[in-house]
A and B are shown apart, each in its own frame.
Chain A
Amino acid sequence: MSEPNRSHSTLIITGGIVIDATGERRADVVVASGRIQEVGEGLVVPTGATVLEAGGCVVSPGLVDLHAHLREPGQEEAETIETGTRAASLGGYTAVVAMPNTNPPLDSADAVRNVFELARTATAQVAVAGAITVGRAGLRLAPMAELAALGVRLFTDDGAGVQSAGLMRRALEYARGLGATLAQHCEDGSLACDGAMHEGAWSSRLGIPGMPALAEEVMVARDIALARVTGSRIHFLHLSTAPSIELVRQAKAAGLPVTAEVAPHHFSLTDACVAGYDPVFKVNPPLRPQCDVDAVKAGLADGTVDAIATDHAPHAPEFRDLPFDLAPPGVLGLQTALSLAITEIDLPLTRILALLSWQPAAIAGLDPSNGGGQGGLITPGAESNLCVIDPTATWTVDPMTLASRSRNTPYAGRTLTGRVRHTVFRGEPVVIDGEAQR
């Protein structure tokens, strides 16, 4: 991992509870030159150090998002890498994986280099998920080795699933030779058709074309079978149904190399939200009934699900003027994910942070064991990517005050528990007391 390109003054985080993969303890943290210098109780404030007050707060490794649509290049009116990473910093993230469905798509070395260049001054690390197939068209493999050489560890055609089982098998085999992980957006096109919401009681009543849960589950089942045959790692993006979670549970029990993420909207909202036809509730996979929400939560609780990922998907305001079936799917997520997890998931904070930080960091290949600086232990010498969370503070979501260029949050007006107080990215305090510093 490269060193930060600016030298920052020393800072000290005082009075907090440090939580990482080894557990929790009361400790101050001193950061200098982008690295953690000292961790311990009652540390002396170094001369000239910036003091980040953390009384009543938790100091955690920075959060890592496996699934963000930063929209640049191609849809800069919806989001840019600058605004997207600012939203990430405010949400406690120090790294995000940028999805490849940009325009042009991230299916070539040039496209990936361009994103890295645009992200050079960003307030969070931007990793790239490369496309599995050229143009995400599902026909020919993208130059995965070339992308892997640039540091790409995750490949996906997200926005669409790889429809051909034969091509997916080849992709898995090829990726294994690169040490890369394939991530699947599970949606069988022949079952999904033009579905715009979950197929069920609500879609039937509202007359909106439905996307059956089956469209997701068939591809999860297929890819588990492919993982069994190829031995290659596969990560399931934004799982949303009870049978999908159960399939992964069984695959893990059988020792297969599968991991899974869920998105906050799939544990906090149901398809009943669509009743007013507001496109702000259109996501893909769609919002599901309560039984699926419960299954997603159960999957988080028993370890079947490895990560909470935002699927942050900004859309310029005109999207909301479209009929529901024609509107693009996706909601903002970076600034609400942590709070939704704390509010909705009945797990100790350490477990929630595992789902938001070190487990996704490992899946993305950004953790110290993969040579990265994300999600690691809070210990001297480590790269200082940290966030300080007030787990009991409440706040009300106001779309107008979010840092994203877009406003499409389905949580407007909702009061959430848990708030990011400070974020430190490579030694730089990019968020202090809930305010972005640049």
Chain B
Amino acid sequence: MKSVDQFPHHLLSIDDLGSDGIAEVLRVTDSFVEVGHRANPKVPALRGRTVATLFFEDSTRTRVSFETAAKRLSADVLSFAVGSSSVRKGESLRDTVETIEAMGIDAIIIRHPSSGTPTQVAGWITNSSVINAGDGWHEHPTQALLDLYTVRQALGGGDEGMDRFKSLQVVIVGDIRHSRVARSQVAAYAALGAAVTLVAPPTLLPPSIDGWPIAAVSHDIDKELPSADVVSLLRLQSERGSGEFVPSLREYTTRFGLTGRRAAMLKPETLILHPGPMVRGVEIASEVADLPAAHITGQVSNGVAVRMAVLFLILGQSPAEGSSDV
């Protein structure tokens, strides 16, 4: 490991990391995946440190993943869940954050339905690190890092896997407009040199893609599948499929769903990724979701290892000490 000193104090978006930072997260993740296989999957790396999860939106999956990661690093964990009614009033965010910081917390892991709240929080506090666990439609950096890790592993892992991103054709399909996962994925794949194609009906694309580091935009999934190395599917929330953005979920599936027929167009080695939770029968057919090529990245244990790596790097352990502990 190198340049831990330069690792950012906060993780608000993928751009905070750059390609070197991403590579570093993935390398450190390797060590923690190995730790996860031990009988006692715990290391003392963050003993005496305290992290808080502050979730203004229900996501047990992500929260538990972060909390497990912190505990495996021997950090103390405080968990704050805030009711959605007080979020809508917007009252408690700053008060809550300042209260938490006053408790001597080293890192605040925040999930919020409004874009930009982790950035705002980072501006309010003086010492704690802020980790974005998903904000509005903006970013969900650790989910994208997890996707990259999964892809790198499938490509052979290590530096060899990293190199192969440069020639990778990545197709992201679905509700990109409202997706924080998509924004982080685009930034992350692009940082590693992959060519990203966005596939969606125009109503589910962002109003502008000016400045997005993508290769192409397409409204025809059938054209994009045969050359894809990675197909990344996004969840379509049912309210988006009820006539306002697309006429119906059925019509969406017909045009953009990864059906069995479409899966047959893929190269044998193509990876299918879904951050979960999947809606089987909408964006992905049940039989496709069960193929060995399909990786439901939100559920796999790699998620804990990636988040361990992020916490470990952000909380600034010296590499030597950290490595020997691992």
Q: Which chain A positions have C-beta within 8 A of B88?
A: 326
Q: Which chain B positions have C-beta within 8 A of A322?
A: 90, 93
- Per the bound structure, the CA–CA distance linking A278 and B94 in Å amounts to 13
Interface residues of A in 108-156 (CB under 8 A from B): none
Q: Is the CB of A277 closer than 8 A to any CB of chain B? A: yes
Interface residues of B (CB under 8 A from A): 88, 90, 93-95, 112, 114-117, 119-120, 123-124, 135-139, 180, 183, 206-212
- Per the bound structure, the CA–CA distance linking A201 and B183 in Å amounts to 13
**A323 near B119 (CB under 8 angstroms)?**
no
Partner of B115, one of A200, A278, A325, A327: A325
Q: Which chain B positions have C-beta within 8 A of A323?
A: 90, 93, 112, 114-117, 120
Q: How far is the CB of B7 from chain A (nearest CB, A)?
A: 22
Q: Which chain A positions have C-beta within 8 A of B212?
A: 204-205
- Per the bound structure, the CA–CA distance linking A316 and B195 in Å amounts to 47
Partner of A276, one of B123, B136, B137, B206: B123
Residue of B nearest to A209 (CB): B137
A277 and B137 in contact (CB under 8 A), knowing A322-B90, A326-B90?
Answer: no
Q: Is the CB of A393 closer than 8 A to any CB of chain B? A: no
- Per the bound structure, the CA–CA distance linking A278 and B121 in Å amounts to 11
- Per the bound structure, the CA–CA distance linking A219 and B124 in Å amounts to 39
- Per the bound structure, the CA–CA distance linking A323 and B206 in Å amounts to 21
Q: Is the CB of A324 closer than 8 A to any CB of chain B? A: yes
Q: Contact string, A167-209, partner B, CB cutoff 8 A, digits 1/0?
A: 0000000000000000000000000000000011101111111
A205 and B116 in contact (CB under 8 A), knowing A276-B123, A321-B94?
Answer: no
- Per the bound structure, the CA–CA distance linking A324 and B211 in Å amounts to 22
- Per the bound structure, the CA–CA distance linking A280 and B119 in Å amounts to 14
- Per the bound structure, the CA–CA distance linking A131 and B154 in Å amounts to 64
**A204 near B120 (CB under 8 angstroms)?**
no
**B115 near A207 (CB under 8 angstroms)?**
yes
- Per the bound structure, the CA–CA distance linking A396 and B270 in Å amounts to 59
A208 and B93 in contact (CB under 8 A), knowing A201-B210, A203-B207, A325-B136?
Answer: no
**B136 near A207 (CB under 8 angstroms)?**
yes
Q: Which chain A positions have C-beta within 8 A of B94?
A: 321
Shortest 5 CB-CB contacts between residues of A and residues of B: A277-B116, A323-B114, A207-B138, A207-B137, A204-B206
Interface residues of A in 314-341 (CB under 8 A from B): 321-327
Residue of A nearest to B89 (CB): A326
Q: How far is the CB of A366 from chain B (nearest CB, A)?
A: 38
Q: How far is the CB of A203 from chain B (nearest CB, A)?
A: 7
Q: Is the CB of A365 closer than 8 A to any CB of chain B? A: no
Count how many chain A residues have C-beta atoms less than 8 Å from C-beta atoms of the other chain. Answer: 22
Q: Is the CB of A210 closer than 8 A to any CB of chain B? A: yes
**A208 near B207 (CB under 8 angstroms)?**
no
Q: Which chain B positions have C-beta within 8 A of A264?
A: none
Q: Which chain B positions have C-beta within 8 A of A208?
A: 115-116, 136-138
- Per the bound structure, the CA–CA distance linking A322 and B88 in Å amounts to 10
Residue of B nearest to A212 (CB): B207
Give the most central of A199, A205, A212: most B CB within 10 Å. Answer: A205
**B136 near A204 (CB under 8 angstroms)?**
no
Q: 16 A-B pairs, CB-CB below 8 angstroms?
A: A199-B208, A204-B207, A206-B115, A207-B137, A207-B183, A208-B115, A212-B207, A276-B119, A276-B123, A321-B93, A321-B124, A322-B90, A323-B112, A324-B120, A325-B114, A326-B114
**B139 near A207 (CB under 8 angstroms)?**
yes
Q: Which chain B positions have C-beta within 8 A of A204?
A: 206-210, 212
- Per the bound structure, the CA–CA distance linking A212 and B135 in Å amounts to 22
- Per the bound structure, the CA–CA distance linking A207 and B209 in Å amounts to 12
Q: How far is the CB of A326 from chain B (nearest CB, A)?
A: 4
Q: Which chain B positions have C-beta within 8 A of A209?
A: 137
- Per the bound structure, the CA–CA distance linking A276 and B120 in Å amounts to 7
Interface residues of A in 249-306 (CB under 8 A from B): 276-278
- Per the bound structure, the CA–CA distance linking A208 and B117 in Å amounts to 11
Residue of B nearest to A210 (CB): B207
- Per the bound structure, the CA–CA distance linking A322 and B120 in Å amounts to 9
Q: Which chain A positions have C-beta within 8 A of B183?
A: 205, 207
Q: How far is the CB of B170 from chain A (nearest CB, A)?
A: 19
Q: How far is the CB of A84 from chain B (nearest CB, A)?
A: 25
**A207 near B120 (CB under 8 angstroms)?**
no
Partner of A200, one of B117, B124, B135, B208: B208
Partner of B211, one of A203, A205, A277, A278: A205
Q: How far is the CB of A273 from chain B (nearest CB, A)?
A: 13
Q: How far is the CB of B208 from chain A (nearest CB, A)?
A: 4
A277 and B207 in contact (CB under 8 A), knowing A207-B183, A321-B94, A322-B93?
Answer: no
- Per the bound structure, the CA–CA distance linking A123 and B183 in Å amounts to 51
Partner of A207, one of B90, B93, B135: B135
Q: Contact string, A216-245, partner B, CB cutoff 8 A, digits 1/0?
A: 000000000000000000000000000000
Q: How far is the CB of A391 from chain B (nearest CB, A)?
A: 36
Q: How far is the CB of A194 from chain B (nearest CB, A)?
A: 11
**B114 near A324 (CB under 8 angstroms)?**
yes
Residue of A nearest to B124 (CB): A321
- Per the bound structure, the CA–CA distance linking A214 and B180 in Å amounts to 25
Residue of A nearest to B209 (CB): A204
Q: How far is the CB of B11 from chain A (nearest CB, A)?
A: 16
Q: Which chain A positions have C-beta within 8 A of B120?
A: 277-278, 323-324
Q: Which chain A positions have C-beta within 8 A of B208?
A: 199-201, 203-204
